[in-house]
Amino acid sequence: SYGRITATASYLPPKVVTNDDLAKVMETSDEWIASRTGIRQRHIAENENTSDLCIHVANTLLQKVKKQSSDLDFIIIATMTPDYHTPSVACMVQGAIQATNAYAFDISVACSGFVYALSLANKLIQTGAKCGLVIGGEVLSKMLDWQDRSTAVLFGDGAAGVVLEASDQPMIVKEKLYSNGSLGQALTSGLVETTDYQKTVHPLQMEGRAIFDFATRTVVQSVKELLADEAQSVDYFLLHQANARILDIFAKKLQVPREKFLQNIQHYGNTSAATIPLLLDEAVGDGTIILGGKQKIILTGFGGGLTWGNLLLQV
């Protein structure tokens, strides 16, 4: 068997914070944020943590495929902002939905999380599992330094995911995952330091230029290598939503029409592991992507670790 996506779902915390809202509390402007990133607003969790967002997604997914939680063999949550170090968000979700037959675990590869998790889940199905959930979920707002305008304006909260079920039709046509830990200091979040009994949790910090260049050079190259001469046959490119200008650069370097690069960063900001499933769920919801329609799409994640990865799917 092979893993096949049979449903998608997402959940955004209700509070919307616009660029103008941020301009009231820090030195920035809607003009700067929108022109440099493409972001116009983001959802910010209040009294909800990452597990709460993921539980909403899990329940919606089960409703969509009309399955019981006991039908699930596994739950994988991709997150860089877990509620706890332990229990995992995945185990919290399992407990909340009573998925008594599932094994559950988180994976932590920042914005490549959903791509890594989907690749791994496919292998669980290929080695005998029948059905599972793969969800990317983040509450990045709790990790941000709201005095640092260079990062505070970029990120948002949200969760989205898929049901993966056993099928005799392969969905993942080609894939390659990468990491380069020697560049990991370019994007850090949540360092816990204890000096003379004082516990300090460091906020998200990013060397923007270095990551931007990594995305528009190394990651572009990896997509070129995966697609070889098939770039023109791909219907849609679903890239991690880190910055709208990155989509422009990818389209130009791959010589593919810009409209093939789906974009929703304007509504959500960068929700790290949730950006790709959120984009996929919206595209399925509005009929752009049809599950079972044989379209060719590529999922490309890139970010903290540093990590990156490409999955070429025939959905």
| Residues with a known catalytic role | 111, 240, 270
Residue nearest to ligand 4VN (CB): 208
Cβ-based nearer residue to ligand 4VN, 91 or 117 = 117
Is 178:310 a contact under the CB 8 Å cutoff?
no
d(C-alpha 129, C-alpha 132), whole Å: 8
Cβ-based nearer residue to ligand 4VN, 160 or 242 = 242
The DSSP letter of residue 149 is H
DSSP string, 163-223: EEEEESS--EEEEEEEE-GGGGGGEE---EEEETTEEEEPPPEE-HHHHHHHIIIIIHHHH
Cβ-based nearer residue to ligand 4VN, 27 or 168 = 27
DSSP string, 255-299: T--GGGB---HHHH-B-GGGHHHHHHHHHHHTTSS-TTS--EEEE
Query: Omega into 306 within 30° of 0, i.e. cis?
Result: yes
Q: Distances in Å between the alpha carbon of 224 and those of 73, 207, 262, 300?
A: 35, 25, 18, 12
Sorted by sequence, the CB contacts under 8 Å of residue 210 that are 6+ apart come out as: 183, 186
Sorted by sequence, the CB contacts under 8 Å of residue 30 that are 6+ apart come out as: 18, 19, 20, 23, 40
Rounded least distance, CB 166 to ligand 4VN, Å: 32
Rounded least distance, CB 175 to ligand 4VN, Å: 20
- Helices 113-126, 275-285: axis angle to 10 degrees equals 70
Cβ-based nearer residue to ligand 4VN, 132 or 304 = 304
Cβ-based nearer residue to ligand 4VN, 94 or 241 = 241
d(C-alpha 180, C-alpha 43), whole Å: 31
Question: Which residues of the shown chain bind ligand 4VN in the complex (CB under 6 A)?
Answer: 36-37, 111, 154, 187, 208, 211-212, 215, 242-243, 246, 270, 272, 302-303
For 298, other C-beta atoms within 10 Å of its C-beta total 24
Rounded least distance, CB 251 to ligand 4VN, Å: 15
Cβ-based nearer residue to ligand 4VN, 96 or 244 = 244
